[in-house]
Amino acid sequence: MNRLQTRVILKPRPDWLGADRDLEQELKEVERRILHQASLFDSGAEAYVRYALEGGGKRLRPALVLLAGKVAGGWSDSIRDLAVIVELVHVASLVHDDVLDQAELRRSRATCNAKWGVELSVLLGDALFSHGLELATKLEDAEVARKIAEASRNLCEGEILQTQRRFDLKMSVADYLHMVGLKTGALFRVAAEVPFLVYDVAESKREAARSFGNQLGVAYQIYDDCLDLYGTDEASGKTLGTDLRKGKWTLPVLHALQTLPKEDSEKLRAQLVGENIGVEEVAEKVSAAGGLKFALRKAVELLERAKVDLKVLGEGKDAGKLVEMTERLAGYLKTAGG
């Protein structure tokens, strides 16, 4: 996709996790366990599952499980298995997302939908969801499995709301934040909270971890949504402008719609629902209206709240890792738009 040179381009993604050799080793073990899951499927399905799981990515959710697990009680097989389960649910949701969006690229590879079509991709996503929930039932505490199932349901509810509200010009910022809290916040919440449940930590700390995960997840989604307008295909590894073309209004767009003078807002509304939407032109209008800056500030605000939640978890070295990650993200977002 060709982009106008005058348009704002977000800085490349930061190193979310920083240099942590111990965490890197744990993530390698979790990655090994994730890829091993493909061998547990029928031989006729194994190759499809393996392709979906080999997409890699940032593995932010497993990393969050590990970091929270270290604070809650240390790394163990239960924590590693939990990291695998959370990522399986996430990958399943991505497979389904790409069907809904008819996306061709994810992480610089053809999507499952592009390779095999709708029918197989829907079934593949279902299989990954089901497998993740099956693994959750094997953990010792049934409440852990319930939390993961709840997060999976919340995720799907968020996707339902997003699909329902496509091309809805009456959608508000509050509506968006509610939807994102379900769609993305759910897995971040469970990734941060459930390790404390595994170790039977005090409820006050579990709730703080849950709130932290939610703020982090929503902030991350706001940033990811900004990338759809202000990133590059090469840097993101996926087809940009997809949200806009599919009528999925993100925070920068909503802010522009609601703050522009009436005449300019009406022109933008007409452009958004037109047949040949100009992604670059819309991005420039939204940026000029302060939409990008508003969205990035909102994400930073959420991360600052997340740091308050972390104070409940203590001030030790392990809790400090979560603080460092949050500060790293906030620092990046403060300068990401140039």
So where are the chain's domains? Answer: 21-335
The DSSP result for 269-312, as a single string, is HHHHTSSS--HHHHHHHHHHTTHHHHHHHHHHHHHHHHHHHHHT
For the beta carbon of residue 180, count every other beta carbon within 10 angstroms: 25
Tens-place pLDDT, residues 99-138: 998 989 888 899 999 999 999 999 999 999 999 999 999 9
Query: How far apart (Å, rounded) are the C-alpha atoms in residues 337 and 224?
Result: 13
The residue ranges of DSSP E strands in 160-269, in sequence order, are none
Task: Tell me what pLDDT residue 287 has.
Answer: 95
Tens-place pLDDT, residues 165-206: 999 999 999 999 999 999 999 999 999 999 999 999 999 999
235 close to 264: Cβ distance less than 8 angstroms:
no
Structure tokens at 130: 């089901």
Find all residues with CB under 8 Å of 85, minimum gap 6, and list them: 132, 135, 136, 148
Superfamily of domain 21-335: Farnesyl Diphosphate Synthase (1.10.600.10)
* pTM (predicted TM-score): 0.94
Phi/psi region, residue 56 (left: phi>0; alpha: psi -120 to 50; beta: rest), is left
Structure tokens at 22: 């111990």
223 close to 296: Cβ distance less than 8 angstroms:
yes
Q: Is the pLDDT of residue 159 over 80?
A: yes
How far does Cα 36 stand from its chain's mean position? 23
Percent of the chain with pLDDT over 90: 80
- Residue found by looking up tokens 């994730």 in the block: 34
Tens-place pLDDT, residues 287-320: 999 999 999 999 999 999 999 999 999 877 888 9
Q: C-alpha distances in angstroms, 5 versus 222, 281, 284, 288?
A: 23, 11, 11, 15
